[in-house]
């Protein structure tokens, strides 16, 4: 750990704090339909969309209708993406003549992009046509993010409203989230990325002649393989910058290229890297401020933000420590930080980022349910990998995905308030709303879904040689972590991969796809039910006897509840994965 | 009140209750009742499973049976201890009920036939609507309403208060309770309920737990605990595949042990005991509640409606000071005031005499002063006084005295008006004293606020509860008394309709309201209030309308009721936190033990340095069972409640039960491990 590293971390956190309030205030204006500077441009567009779609923008929905609209919309989206991927060969903008995508992979990818997961069982440059990337995937990058924001806003309305039957209009919220929030920022972001050297074109891949031809030796285990010499290199390219901006801002994480943000055409410079990380957290962070403003308690928003930040900071410190400490088994290698190298465990990391920026990115992308990576998580030290895994296991609430992070965290807030309320001797209240049996039931249901999907599917996978463990590159604890990571990433709608697991098989494509759908919709439905129920309640005015949700004590308790629920659920599994791997590493054994 | 606590408090480990509870614990193993408590049901299912496996191993002669049998035994103990806690709480409830029931002595009743003739029948034969005659020395055969006569009644059997109370036909003091005794006079009562259905009968049934239903908050908490149980069930069930993958498959005994240790058995086992104990604590305060829901609601109360008279003030106006005007001295005024009140038997009159003697050193005199003529108060003169040796002393309202003085052409000094107005403004009642037609000064009569009320209201405010005083006084007087007593608000010139309106408007704002009442005209408000405490001296209508009855008829008891409600929820919260915090230590005990063979490096997590894998697992299971027993007293007594802000209270609870819950099991499991090694059990 170096001073330079800590300065990078502090600058990043400082910038995050700086964007939170302006963005939060702007979003509360957008969703409470107050005037914004973009209205003259966007209002006509918005009205046209509603006129074409036949949406009455003044009509509000009960939670059941809201959920119905969401599910219908998502189902159509999945079907649409699936169709485009299967039929991409016949669509235009396919200069590489890429064939249609296999059915299990197309299902997995459709589920993945619609649920804002962006798990990629494929390598983009060799699987997806430009048309698929732009029409199927980038569109979903926008709308899946917009849906997440809409849901968070609906939940916040549920908390803020009193004796109301409705929680907003799904179509209006999604449209406004796209037009007012995602589009303008992405437009600016894409231009910034281009300025940093990210490519943006529709050309066929270039072929370059290597300055120094490279020989590849034959694989001794494979009698069919032959050694060969490479003289040319195919340089994949395409409309990258436009997808890059929304990939990060919408916490999608699906890279244009297989190497994702480690690829120099996606994330060329340290400045682009800093901007990327900020884009990942910006909306999730800003939404806490929106929560505060819409509920009339700005301090509550900051208290929730502080809980997220605290969990983030703990994870970041642990990962940065683990990664910069390097690998003790490489005793003879110089792993110290110096003027010429960032030091630490550089396996799977880009030299232009070093251990610090890779650690911040690793924590950011897993905390925020983004899934973009600028280094390989499977190559991290066991503790570094543990942090990435734990961030997702906490339920993607450490900032979390756009919208999803906030509503996920608010489920924990409901639980926290329930337990705290009991301890102060009152029927628990949140913003004056009594938390009763139905509310606890819905919150528990929503929180139960992820562990259920992660543990059950992982348990089945580790038992099967045929379809489960056969995909593993590494065995032992590291192999267990690879499988756990894949399901955790899917359930949390994160999408980052631990590498090492060949997930493009019918079993993994299907079960991971199902896990993504469970992690998204089986959480959203109880969450909306809770929102609808809260909206209908009377609010009790706060008194000295009410547990305040604005204080450091609340922040501490909220963070503790998140950690305790996650830790108690996953400790045994983590114990056999990264924890034992770490201990074995110290004893001199690796996998 | 304190007296009842001592007389009615039953020791936690009362032998007869413990004996009954031990049997009850076994009876409660019936799965059809167990499943209502999902957490303990899982433990029971686990126990059955391990018992079956023990039998199988015993038949097959598998080695290591000692460990399996011990684990199984402790799992059963876990279930039994939880059942025992519930049975203990019920037993205490029954014991409380028994003391109440003892009041219901088997008596004979003098039933009146329609022709007014008397027919002696056993009290159990009385039906609703029967008229009975009760004379001095007889027991009242059942709950009813006096329709004729007035009597003094000894209600000590149910209230513990030895002083007799007056009960009379008509008005708010007409209700009588079966089992109480008429001390004087003769009354006719209309029986208001059939045998076994009296108010007390119904309350007793509730206390005994026969009709106990889960309260809303208890249901919510049960859902939370069930959710956690499912999470742990998942974590443990899926651990086996991970263990198999890692080359370290686990025995069912170990997995069931881990599961039982992780699921919130501490709170799950004690939850219903806490609820029952809450009702018991109310009874210790001589308050009967119609439902656990009412007790819970009491903890949530935002606004407390308190009648001024009898609750906040002593109920009588008392002389507070003498304010002379004109040339009169204080002593002169005191002397005249005392003389004028010697024959005045009202509490006000007595207080004037007492004040004059105590504070102004007026020598005591006999009432029957030679040559004196007492002039009694009449509605016409609106004055009273005394004529003595040429001194004509009168006291009365200011306008009455002014009429007197102006008739004598002694103009009252302007000072008099000012003094009178000042007293009126401060909420007091001015009483002017005149001698021979000259105003001497003013007696300040004051509603005396009971001692310690201000402190109690301050405490309530710290708890976030607003107190509102209800009075028939004019707003000026009401404001003054409200300020003196330290209540937050007042409702002056209040009619029962105003009260009702006030409750409704508070509730519309989302607030919960508690009130006390005794009159029939209080009944609608009592029914409307979230917590309505009827006084036992009140009418049947009032008692039926409220959801609690205070046998002592002490309106200030509302404050204790609120505290008991809070204590109930706090106890649940504290034990939930404790239970969940305990899991951390249990993981550190069990996980390294499970994988000690496959991954010796995991011994780094064995921070307690437990001796062997078997002893570690056994210690955790034993700790988990014993902690239930250890916490039974806390569950039954409730956690200590101190009025303070929610924030401060939470901080304290988290420190005690959260941090304590983290640390205690580390120590406890280590000690048990040492004991196990010492006795060579594993």
Q: What is the pLDDT of residues B438-457, one digit of tens each?
A: 888 899 888 777 777 888 88
Q: How far is B17 from chain A (nearest CA, A)?
A: 29
pLDDT of residue A540: 80
Lowest mean pLDDT among A298-302, B189-193, B447-451: B447-451
| All residues at 6 or more sequence positions from B102 whose CB lies less than 8 Å from its CB, including other chains | B157
Q: Look over chain A and give the mean of its residue pLDDT values, rounded to a whole number.
A: 90
Q: Considering only residues 531 to 590 of chain A, which have any Cβ-Cβ distance to chain B shorter than 8 Å?
A: 538-541, 543-548, 551, 553, 557, 560, 564-565, 567-573, 575-576, 579-580, 583-584, 586-587
Q: pLDDT digits over A370-410, tens only? A: 889 999 998 899 999 999 999 999 989 999 999 999 999 99
What's the pLDDT band for B660 if we cut at 50, 70, 90? very high
Determine the pLDDT at residue B5.
38
Question: Tokens for A65?
Answer: 């209708």
* Candidates A437, A571, A576; nearest CB to B220: A437
A501 vs A511: CA distance, rounded Å: 14
A contacts of B620 (beta carbons < 8 Å): none
What's the alpha-carbon Rg for chain A, to the nearest Å? 23
Dihedral of CA atoms A402, A406, A409, A414 in degrees, nearest 10, equals: -150
- Out of A445, A560, A583, the one facing B601 most closely (by C-beta) is A583
Judged by CB atoms closer than 8 Å, whether chains meet at B580 and A568 is answered as yes
Confidence tier at B411 by pLDDT (50, 70, 90) = low
Choice between A46 and B118, residue whose per-residue pLDDT is larger: A46
Taking CA–CA distances from A586, the nearest residue in chain B reads B601
Contacts of A557 in chain B (CB under 8 A): 650, 654
Q: For chains A and B, count residue pairs whose Cβ atoms are closer than 8 Å.
A: 211
Lowest mean pLDDT across B15-19, B37-41, B145-149, B470-474:
B470-474
User: Rounded to the nearest 10 degrees, how much is the dihedral formed by the CA atoms of B223, B227, B230, B234?
Assistant: 180
pLDDT higher at B518 or A295: A295
pLDDT one-digit tens code per residue, A545-569: 778 899 999 999 999 999 988 998 9
Q: Are B232 and A480 in contact (CB < 8 Å)?
A: no
Q: Are B647 and A548 an interchain contact pair (Cβ–Cβ within 8 Å)?
A: yes
| pLDDT of B6 above 60 | no
Q: Which of B57, B280, B307, B550 is the catalytic position?
A: B307
Listed range (A131-145, A226-240, A366-380) with the worst mean pLDDT: A226-240
B-chain residues near A551 (CB < 8 A): 647
Determine the Cα–Cα distance for residues B500 and B606; give it in Å rounded to an integer.
63
Inter-chain CB proximity B576 and A540 less than 8 Å: no
At B409 the three-state DSSP class reads coil
How many other C-beta atoms can be found within 10 angstroms of the C-beta atom of residue A349? Answer: 24
Strand, helix or coil for residue B151? strand
| More confident of the two residues B33 and A173 | A173
Greater confidence, A588 or B85? B85
> Rounded to the nearest 10 degrees, how much is the dihedral formed by the CA atoms of A35, A39, A45, A51?
30
The verdict on whether B307 is a catalytic residue reads yes
B contacts of A553 (beta carbons < 8 Å): 647, 650-651, 654
Q: Verify whether the Cβ–Cβ distance A447 to B227 is below 8 Å.
A: yes
CB atoms B231 and A460 under 8 Å: no
Q: Identify all chain A residues contacting B465, using CB atoms and an 8 Å cutoff.
A: 543, 545
Tokens 């088997």 identify what position?
B106
Q: What is the CA radius of gyration of chain B?
A: 34
Contact yes or no for B566 and A426 at CB 8 A: yes
Nearest chain A residue to B303, by CA: A543
Average the pLDDT over each of A326-340, A373-387, B564-578 and give the range with the smallest value: A326-340
Across the range B650-678, mean pLDDT stands at 93
What is the rounded average pLDDT for all residues in chain B? 83
Q: Which of chain B's residues have a Cβ under 8 Å away from the Cβ of A412?
A: none
Q: How many CB atoms lie within 10 A of CB B488?
A: 15
List chain A residues with CB under 8 Å of B216. 427, 436-437
Contact B583 A440 (CB under 8 A): no
Contact status, residue A361 vs residue A373, Cβ threshold 8 Å: yes
Nearest to A568 among B239, B576, B583 (CB): B583
The reply to whether residue A422 touches residue B654, judged by beta carbons under 8 angstroms, is no
Tokens of B186: 């003769």
pLDDT of residue B210: 47
* Range of lowest pLDDT (A520-524, B432-436, B446-450): B446-450
d(CA A488, CA A356) in angstroms, rounded, equals: 24
The structure's pTM equals 0.84
Percent of chain A whose predicted confidence (pLDDT) is above 90: 62
Rounded mean pLDDT of A253-280? 91
Contact A540 B583 (CB under 8 A): no
Q: Which 8-state DSSP code applies to residue A239?
A: B
State the DSSP H helix or E strand holding residue A17, giving kind and residue range, or none if neither. helix A3-31
Question: Above 70 in pLDDT, residue B224?
Answer: yes
* Helical H segments across B305-464, by residue range: 330-341, 347-360, 398-407, 414-425, 453-462
Report how far apart the first and last C-alpha atoms of chain A are (Å, whole number): 26
Please report the sign of the dihedral spanned by the C-alpha atoms of residue B313, residue B318, residue B324, residue B329: negative
B7 has a pLDDT exceeding 50: no
Helix (H) or strand (E) holding B323: strand B313-324
Tell me the nearest-neighbour CA distance from B217 into chain A, angstroms: 7
**How far apart are the CA of A585 and the nearest CA of chain B, in angstroms?**
10
- Both tokens of residue A507? 């079993």
pLDDT at B106: 60
Residue B438, beta-bridge partner list: B435
Contact B499, B468 (CB under 8 A): no
Q: What is the pLDDT of residue A147?
A: 95
**What does the pLDDT read at residue A272?**
95
Residues of A in contact with B228 (CB under 8 A): 568
- A423 and B512 within 8 Å at the Cβ level: the answer is no
pLDDT in tens, A469-505: 887 878 888 999 999 999 999 999 998 888 788 888 8
Q: What is the mean pLDDT of residues B524-533?
A: 87
Alpha-carbon distance B197 to B143, whole Å?
Answer: 10
Contact state of A444 with B566 under an 8 Å Cβ cutoff: no
- Minimal C-alpha gap between B411 and chain A (Å): 55
**Which chain B residue has the Cα nearest residue A451?**
B231
CA B327 centroid distance within chain:
55
- Helix B660-679 × helix B613-637 angle, to 10°: 130
Residues of A in contact with B601 (CB under 8 A): 580, 583-584, 586-587
Poorest-pLDDT segment among A34-48, A114-128, B469-483, B535-549: B535-549
The span from the CA of B545 to the CA of B552, in Å, is 18
Tell me what the mean pLDDT of segment B567-575 comes to: 90
Test the B interface: residue of A382, A471, A545, A591 with most B CBs within 10 Å: A545
Percentage of residues in chain A having pLDDT higher than 70: 100
Banded model confidence at residue B28, pLDDT cuts 50, 70, 90 = confident
pLDDT in tens, A5-49: 999 999 999 999 999 999 999 999 999 999 999 999 999 999 999
- Is pLDDT above 80 for B478? yes
- β-strands B150-154, A206-216 pairing: unpaired
Helix, coil or strand: residue B120: strand
Find the CB nearest A437 among B219, B232, B302.
B219
pLDDT reported for residue A74: 94
Chain B contact for A415 (CB, 8 A cutoff)? yes
Q: Which residue has the higher pLDDT, B243 or B359?
A: B243
Q: Is the CB of A444 less than 8 angstroms away from the CB of B651?
A: no
């Amino acid at each position: 750990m170096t001073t330079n590293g800590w300065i990078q971390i502090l600058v990043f956190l400082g910038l995050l704090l700086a964007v939170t309030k302006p963005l939060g205030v702007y979003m509360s204006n957008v969703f409470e339909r107050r005037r914004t500077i973009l209205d003259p441009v966007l209002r006509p567009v918005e009205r046209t969309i509603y006129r074409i779609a036949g949406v009455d923008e003044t009509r509000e929905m009960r939670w059941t209708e809201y959920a119905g609209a969401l599910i219908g919309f998502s189902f159509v989206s999945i079907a649409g993406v699936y169709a485009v991927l299967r039929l991409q060969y016949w669509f235009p903008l396919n200069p590489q003549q890429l064939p249609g995508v296999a059915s299990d992979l197309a299902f997995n990818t459709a589920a993945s992009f619609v649920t804002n997961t962006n798990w990629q069982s494929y390598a983009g440059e060799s699987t997806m046509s430009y048309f698929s990337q732009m029409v199927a995937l980038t569109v979903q990058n926008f709308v899946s993010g917009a849906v997440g924001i809409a849901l968070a806003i609906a939940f916040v309305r549920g908390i803020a409203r009193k004796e109301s039957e409705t929680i907003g209009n799904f179509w209006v919220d999604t449209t406004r989230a796209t037009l007012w929030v995602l589009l303008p920022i992405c437009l600016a972001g894409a231009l910034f990325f281009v300025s940093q050297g990210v490519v943006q074109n529709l050309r066929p891949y270039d072929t370059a002649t290597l300055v120094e031809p490279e020989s590849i030796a034959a694989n001794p285990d494979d009698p069919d393989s032959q050694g060969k010499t490479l003289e040319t290199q195919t340089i994949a390219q395409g409309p990258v910058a436009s997808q890059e901006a929304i990939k990060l801002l919408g916490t999608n994480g699906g890279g244009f290229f297989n190497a994702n943000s480690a690829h120099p055409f996606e994330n060329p410079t340290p400045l682009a890297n800093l901007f990327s990380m900020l884009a990942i957290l910006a909306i999730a962070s800003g939404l806490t401020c929106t929560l505060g403003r819409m509920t009339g308690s700005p301090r509550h928003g900051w208290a929730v933000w502080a809980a997220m930040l605290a969990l983030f900071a703990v994870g970041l410190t642990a990962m940065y420590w683990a990664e910069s400490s390097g690998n003790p088994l490489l005793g003879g290698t110089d792993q110290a930080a110096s003027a010429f190298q960032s030091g630490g465990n550089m396996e799977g990391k880009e030299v232009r980022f070093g251990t610090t920026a890779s650690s911040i990115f690793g924590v950011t992308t897993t905390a925020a349910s983004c899934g973009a990576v600028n280094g390989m998580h499977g190559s991290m030290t066991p503790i570094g990998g543990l942090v990435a895994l734990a961030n997702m296991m906490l339920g993607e609430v450490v900032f979390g995905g756009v919208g999803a992070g906030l509503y996920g965290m608010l489920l924990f807030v409901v639980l926290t308030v329930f337990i705290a309320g009991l301890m102060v001797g009152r029927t628990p209240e949140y913003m004056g709303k009594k938390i009763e049996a139905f509310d606890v039931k819905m919150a528990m249901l929503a929180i139960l879904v992820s562990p259920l999907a992660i543990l059950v599917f992982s348990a089945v996978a580790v038992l099967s040689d045929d379809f489960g463990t056969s995909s593993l590159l590494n065995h032992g604890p590291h192999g267990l972590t690879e499988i756990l990571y894949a399901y955790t990433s899917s359930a949390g709608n994160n999408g980052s991969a631990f590498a090492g697991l060949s997930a493009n098989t019918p079993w993994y494509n299907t079960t991971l796809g199902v896990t993504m759908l469970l992690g998204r919709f089986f959480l959203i439905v109880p969450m909306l039910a809770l929102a609808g129920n809260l909206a209908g309640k009377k609010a009790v005015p706060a008194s000295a006897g009410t547990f305040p949700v604005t204080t450091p004590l609340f922040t501490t308790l909220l963070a503790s509840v998140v950690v305790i629920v996650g830790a108690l659920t996953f400790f045994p599994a983590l114990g056999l994965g990264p924890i034992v791997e770490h201990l074995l590493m110290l004893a001199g054994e690796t996998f | 009140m304190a007296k009842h606590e001592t007389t009615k408090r039953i020791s936690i480990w009362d032998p007869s209750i413990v004996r009954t509870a031990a049997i009850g614990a076994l009876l409660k193993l019936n799965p059809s009742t167990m499943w209502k408590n999902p957490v303990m049901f899982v433990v029971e299912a686990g126990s059955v499973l391990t018992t079956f496996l023990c039998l199988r191993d015993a038949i097959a002669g598998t080695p290591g049976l000692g460990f399996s049998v011990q684990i199984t035994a402790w799992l059963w103990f876990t279930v039994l201890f939880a059942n025992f806690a519930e049975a203990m709480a019920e037993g205490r409830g029954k014991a409380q009920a028994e003391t109440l029931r003892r009041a219901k002595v088997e008596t004979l009743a003098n039933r009146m036939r329609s022709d007014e003739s008397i027919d002696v029948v056993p009290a159990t034969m009385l039906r609703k609507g029967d008229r009975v005659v009760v004379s001095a020395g007889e027991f009242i055969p059942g709950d009813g309403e006096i329709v004729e006569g007035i009597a003094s009644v000894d209600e000590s059997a149910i209230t513990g208060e030895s002083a007799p109370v007056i009960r009379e036909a008509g008005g708010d003091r007409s209700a009588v309770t079966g089992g109480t005794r008429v001390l004087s006079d003769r009354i006719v009562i209309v029986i208001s309920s059939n045998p076994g259905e009296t108010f007390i009968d119904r309350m007793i049934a509730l206390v005994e737990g026969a009709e106990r239903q889960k309260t809303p908050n208890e249901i919510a908490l049960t859902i939370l605990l069930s959710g956690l149980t499912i999470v742990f069930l998942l974590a443990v069930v899926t651990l086996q595949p991970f263990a198999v993958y890692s080359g370290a498959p686990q025995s069912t005994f170990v997995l069931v042990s881990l599961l039982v240790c992780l699921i919130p058995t501490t709170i799950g086992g004690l939850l219903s005991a806490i609820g029952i104990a809450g009702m018991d604590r109310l009874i210790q305060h001589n308050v009967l509640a119609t439902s656990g829901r009412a007790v819970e609601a009491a903890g949530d109360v935002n606004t407390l409606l308190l009648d001024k008279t009898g609750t906040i003030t002593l109920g009588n106006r008392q002389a507070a000071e003498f304010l002379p005007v004109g040339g009169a001295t204080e002593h002169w005024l005191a002397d005249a005031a005392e003389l004028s009140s010697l024959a005045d038997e009202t509490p006000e009159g007595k207080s004037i005499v007492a004040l004059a003697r105590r504070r102004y050193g007026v020598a005591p005199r006999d009432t029957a002063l030679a040559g004196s003529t007492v002039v009694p108060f009449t509605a016409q003169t609106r004055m009273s006084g005394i004529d003595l040796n040429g001194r004509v002393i009168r006291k009365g309202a200011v306008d009455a005295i002014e009429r007197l003085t102006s008739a004598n052409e002694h103009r009252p000094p302007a000072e008099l008006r000012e003094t009178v107005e000042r007293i009126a403004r401060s909420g007091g009642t001015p009483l002017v004293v005149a001698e021979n037609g000259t105003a001497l000064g003013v007696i300040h009569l004051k509603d005396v606020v009971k001692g310690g009320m201000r402190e109690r209201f301050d405490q309530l405010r710290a708890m976030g509860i607003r107190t509102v005083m209800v009075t028939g006084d004019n707003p000026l007087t009401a404001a003054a008394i409200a300020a003196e007593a330290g209540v937050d608000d007042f409702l002056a010139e209040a009619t029962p309709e105003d009260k009702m309106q006030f409750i409704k408007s508070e509730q519309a704002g989302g607030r919960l309201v508690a009130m006390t009442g005794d009159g029939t005209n209080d009944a609608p408000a009592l029914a409307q209030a979230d917590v309505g405490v009827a006084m036992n001296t009140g009418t049947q209508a009032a008692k039926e309308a409220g959801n609690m009855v205070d046998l002592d008829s002490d309106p200030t008891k509302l404050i204790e009721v609120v505290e008991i409600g809070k204590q109930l929820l706090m106890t649940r919260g504290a034990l939930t936190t404790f239970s969940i915090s305990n899991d951390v230590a249990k993981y550190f005990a069990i996980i390294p033990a499970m994988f000690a063979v496959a991954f010796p490096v995991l011994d780094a997590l064995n921070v307690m340095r437990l001796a062997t894998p078997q002893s570690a697992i056994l210690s955790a299971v034993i700790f988990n069972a014993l902690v239930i027993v250890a916490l039974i007293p806390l569950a039954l007594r409730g956690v200590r409640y101190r009025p303070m802000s929610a924030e401060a209270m939470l901080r304290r609870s988290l420190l005690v039960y959260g941090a304590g819950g983290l640390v205690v099991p580390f120590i406890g499991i280590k000690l048990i491990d040492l004991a196990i090694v010492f006795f060579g059990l594993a």
